[in-house]
Amino acid sequence: MAAKKNEKDLTQKEKAALIDIKIDELGQELVKEIEAGQNPHLDIPIRGSGNVFYDEKAKQIMLGDKIAKRYLFNVAHSRRFMQTLLVASYVKKDLLANNLTATLRDLYYAKKHTIAGTKEDTIDEQKESDGAIVDLEVSLETFRERLHLRAEPKGRMAGTLKVKDRVRDKVDTIDLERMGSGGWAVPSIVEQIEFVDSEIEYVLVAEKNAIFDRLNEDDYWKKNKCLLMTTAGQAARGARRLLQRISAELKVPIYCLTDSDPYGWYIYSTMKYGSMALAHESERLGCPEMKFLGMSTSDIEHYDLSSVTIKAKEVDIKRAQEMKAYDWFKTKEWQREINLFLEKKLKAEIQALSSKNLQYISKTYLPEKIKSQDFLP
Amino acid sequence: MAAKKNEKDLTQKEKAALIDIKIDELGQELVKEIEAGQNPHLDIPIRGSGNVFYDEKAKQIMLGDKIAKRYLFNVAHSRRFMQTLLVASYVKKDLLANNLTATLRDLYYAKKHTIAGTKEDTIDEQKESDGAIVDLEVSLETFRERLHLRAEPKGRMAGTLKVKDRVRDKVDTIDLERMGSGGWAVPSIVEQIEFVDSEIEYVLVAEKNAIFDRLNEDDYWKKNKCLLMTTAGQAARGARRLLQRISAELKVPIYCLTDSDPYGWYIYSTMKYGSMALAHESERLGCPEMKFLGMSTSDIEHYDLSSVTIKAKEVDIKRAQEMKAYDWFKTKEWQREINLFLEKKLKAEIQALSSKNLQYISKTYLPEKIKSQDFLP
């Protein structure tokens, strides 16, 4: 039976069937309570900052074990209770049963209606159904992609790797070596993707489209047998999950390349450790093995970039001070990096390397950093 | 010789050679003026609103023929004069000569330096070099992609079409039928792309990623033999140019699908007519044959969506009133549409169709609209 297999070996259909069973079980529990004359309730892990901690061993920002009980017959609970069940019913009957996916916005439109005989709407604003979706995710110990809910996709890839992707019954094998100047767009759900013919020795994930374009034009991924990805800013869920899966399944190092500034560190730390707001997702979206290649504050001096730096603003300084206090930045290497930034008060963009020459990044900077394994943890 | 061929039949190398010649000619003109003891000058078409008009026949927002002369020996001109030549030298020596492309940011970093013997920087902020780039574009009667300058790319595609894309000497044939759930990412420069094995009957361009994902999952492009593209919001230059080229070269209709609101109309009108800010680019970026499929305000009633509309805000009303006065919205169909919007004061998102069922858009809405050719011009 499906449940006996290793989670990662399940087919898409088996994964969907498992969620379907979980939703059924949830419903049966509620029916039992109703038949026993009890007040039906849901157990919802608490997601506030009081139940979030940093697990140093797993290198993940995690949810603690505090649980809230949400009752149907409780004026403060009943609306959200009903919304959570609306979400569960949509996922089961509209999405899983038809093998379709939808966005959070689709779900909102589909389940928003005026309750018969009242002037009350099931859902007033989308943030209510969004909250109910997360409630269902954490109650079922799953994540929204498994509920067939899509997020906004972002990011592009190219490299010495083929992937198999499935859209319902159609299977495509995509050769990431032959994506021209565009690259393959990273989808919002990547659970169905299989990695085939991998020859990659590492993944280089760049914050910026401009860096992807530069390195793709320089044939960087071919010359260095790697996979190149850009997250085009803060990484979307699809990109994060894909990096996590590549790290876990292909067991290759993942190097991250951002600007040298607190926003770059934040993009990196979210991909690596997860975030406080999505602490319940770190296990599936975090990539604890990721390493920070650069740019670092010490790169500015080492690569003689002082004429193309940007003065840090008050908000950067404040952000750096906050980050310095985060448990996941408490390693001696990051404390040194943040202290150096606070002392110099200088930011640098990756494109600052273009002041030397356009191909300096692919011919000198990256090879040097990777050869000397000069990374931050 | 290259210049005798039809512009669109030129190879990449021939196109680059033409720009190179134009830059040389510009330089030779300046040398001539210097040798004649004259004040060297550049002729720069004026880009302000006083020199922008709507060409009703070409359906394009165009630049008029007013030209400003910019002199080296004029305190108000000399800085920008020097910056324009810095840009020209970078394009010629760094980009065209090496067959490389760069971003506007790369150029800024590469040409920013302190002028020897002074405390003056060549470029203080990027907006200065950006302005100089446009000056060079319009002086040479070309556009920045031909100067090998990249913009931020955005957008994804899938459909019954193959494209050949070239990255320097590497040519990839990309089968847009086999792009899985991700799609092919639209590059920032599309001049080098060739269309092969086209079986498309039309292009459907959607404002939103969510709609691309919905239609891709529903196999819409396969069943309807079309090319599906999302611009992921306001269209990037690469996406606009690609649509323009497909319209001109493959001679298929281009249908646009946005939310029913002034922002949607704006996205459409920019793709179709160009914009006032980039009036000098309309000829290359505008797509005058594009048609507006929806959503229209009358769709709200026709498809019974009144329970899932959004009340227009003051800013929407104001925007609609402004747009009503634009020459390119003066057709009777658009005047009727805008008047209806101003009367109902309701917006609707494309995803509002999900309130019926997820596949309503691909099985009912789009086929009906396309069959009845129910478009706005």
Q: What residue of A is the nearest CA neighbor of B103?
A: A210
pLDDT average, residue stretch A218-228: 98
Q: What is the mean pLDDT of each run of 10 residues along chain B (377 residues)?
A: 63 90 96 97 92 95 94 95 97 96 97 92 95 95 95 97 95 98 98 93 98 98 98 97 97 98 98 94 95 96 94 97 97 97 97 96 98 96
Instruction: Inform me whether the pLDDT recorded for A294 exceeds 80.
Output: yes
Per-residue model confidence (pLDDT) at position A9: 76
Average pLDDT of every residue of chain A? 95
CA nearest neighbour of B214 among B247, B239, B181, B246: B181
Tokens of residue B364, six digits? 């009912």
Would you call A200 helix, strand, or coil by DSSP?
coil
Residue A24 and residue A26: Cα distance in Å, rounded?
5
Q: Does A310 touch chain B (CB under 8 A)?
A: no
pLDDT digits (tens, 9 = 90+) for A44-69: 999 988 999 999 999 999 999 999 99
Domains of chain B, each with CATH number or no CATH? 2-150 (1.10.10.10), 199-371 (3.40.1360.10)
Which residues contact residue A238 at a Cβ distance below 8 angstroms, ignoring those fewer than 6 apart? A151, A153, A154, A155, A186, A187, A188, A189, A190
CA dihedral A312, A314, A320, A323 (to 10 degrees): -150
- Active-site residue flag, A326: no
Best mutation target, A126, A171, A181, A362, to test chain B (most B CBs within 10 A): A181
> Is B153 close to A209, i.e. CB distance below 8 A?
yes
Residue B179 and residue B137: Cα distance in Å, rounded?
35
A5: confidence class by pLDDT, cuts 50, 70, 90? low
**How close, in Å, is residue B52 to chain A by CA atoms?**
31
Cis preceding-peptide flag for A295 (omega within 30 of 0): yes
Instruction: Inform me whether the pLDDT recorded for A3 exceeds 50.
Output: no
Residue B12 and residue A148: Cα distance in Å, rounded?
44
CA nearest neighbour of B258 among B234, B288, B224: B234
Q: Does A186 touch chain B (CB under 8 A)?
A: yes
> Is A166 close to B180, i.e. CB distance below 8 A?
yes
Q: Does A166 touch chain B (CB under 8 A)?
A: yes
For A112, the closest of B110, B210, B308 (CB atoms) is B308
Q: What residue of B is the nearest CA neighbor of A182?
A: B187
**Can you spell out the DSSP letters for A280-313?**
GGHHHH--TT-EEEE--HHHHHHTT-GGG-EEPP
Q: Which residue, chain included where needed, has tokens 């394994």?
A: A373
> Is A180 close to B188, i.e. CB distance below 8 A?
no
**How close, in Å, is residue B181 to chain A by CA atoms?**
6
A354 vs B contacts (CB less than 8 Å): 102, 105-106, 109-110
pLDDT digits (tens, 9 = 90+) for A93-148: 999 999 999 999 999 999 999 999 999 999 999 999 999 999 999 999 999 999 99
pLDDT digits (tens, 9 = 90+) for A157-181: 999 999 999 999 999 999 999 999 9
Per-residue model confidence (pLDDT) at position A2: 42
> Is A351 close to B172, i.e. CB distance below 8 A?
no
Amino acid at B294: G
pLDDT digits (tens, 9 = 90+) for A6-23: 777 788 888 999 999 999
For A217, the closest of B167, B173, B355 (CB atoms) is B167
Residue B271 and residue B260: Cα distance in Å, rounded?
16
Q: How many beta-carbon contacts under 8 Å exist across A and B?
A: 180
> Is B174 close to A179, i.e. CB distance below 8 A?
yes
> Is A357 close to B105, i.e. CB distance below 8 A?
no
Per-residue model confidence (pLDDT) at position A183: 98
> Is A210 close to B172, i.e. CB distance below 8 A?
no
Element (H, E) at A336: helix A332-344
pLDDT digits (tens, 9 = 90+) for A351-376: 999 999 999 999 999 999 999 999 99
Query: Do residues A201 and A226 touch, judged by C-beta distance below 8 A?
Result: yes
pLDDT digits (tens, 9 = 90+) for B305-343: 999 999 999 999 999 999 999 999 999 999 999 999 999
CA nearest neighbour of A276 among A66, A55, A52: A52
Residue A192 and residue A166: Cα distance in Å, rounded?
6
B170 vs A contacts (CB less than 8 Å): 219
Per-residue model confidence (pLDDT) at position A49: 83
Q: What residue of B is the nearest CA neighbor of A110?
A: B355
Q: Does A153 touch chain B (CB under 8 A)?
A: yes
> Is A153 close to B187, i.e. CB distance below 8 A?
no
- Give A175's DSSP letter: E
Residue A167 and residue B178: Cα distance in Å, rounded?
10
Q: Does B233 touch chain A (CB under 8 A)?
A: no
Dump strand ranges (E) for A258-375.
Answer: 291-294, 310-311, 346-347
Q: Specify which residues B71 forms β-bridges with.
A: B41
> B361: how many CB neighbours lie within 10 A of its CB?
24
Would you call A263 helix, strand, or coil by DSSP?
helix
Write a three-state SS string for chain B: CHHHCCHHHCCHHHHHHHHHHHHHHHHHHHHHHHHCCCCCEEEEECCCHHHEEEECCCCEEEECCCEEEEECCCCCCHHHHHHHHHHHHHHHHHHHHHCCCEEHHHHHHHHCCECCCCCCECCCCHHHHHHHHHHHHHHCCCCHHHHCEECCCCCEEEECCEEEEEECCEEEEEECCCCCCCCEECCCCCCCCEEECCCCCEEEEECCHHHHHHHHHCCHHHHCCEEEEECCCCCCHHHHHHHHHHHHHHCCCEEEECCECHHHHHHHHHHHHCCCCCHHHHHHHCCCCCEEEECCHHHHHHCCCHHHCEECCHHHHHHHHHHHCCHHHCCHHHHHHHHHHHHHCEEECHHHHHHCCCCHHHHHHHHHHHHCCCCEC
For A358, the closest of B94, B189, B307 (CB atoms) is B94
Tokens of residue A28, six digits? 């049966």
For A167, the closest of B113, B193, B217 (CB atoms) is B217
Q: Inter-axis angle of helices A104-111 and A126-139, to 10 degrees?
A: 110
Tokens of residue A4, six digits? 């006996």
Q: Specify which residues B171 forms β-bridges with.
A: B166
Q: Using alpha carbons, list the distances in angstroms from residue A297 to A209, A229, A302, B358.
A: 22, 23, 9, 49
Per-residue model confidence (pLDDT) at position A224: 98
Which residues contact residue A304 at a Cβ distance below 8 angstroms, ignoring those fewer than 6 apart? none
CA nearest neighbour of A165 among B86, B90, A157: A157
Task: Determine the distance from the C-alpha atom of residue B259 to the mean position of all C-alpha atoms in its chain, rounded to a whole number.
Answer: 19
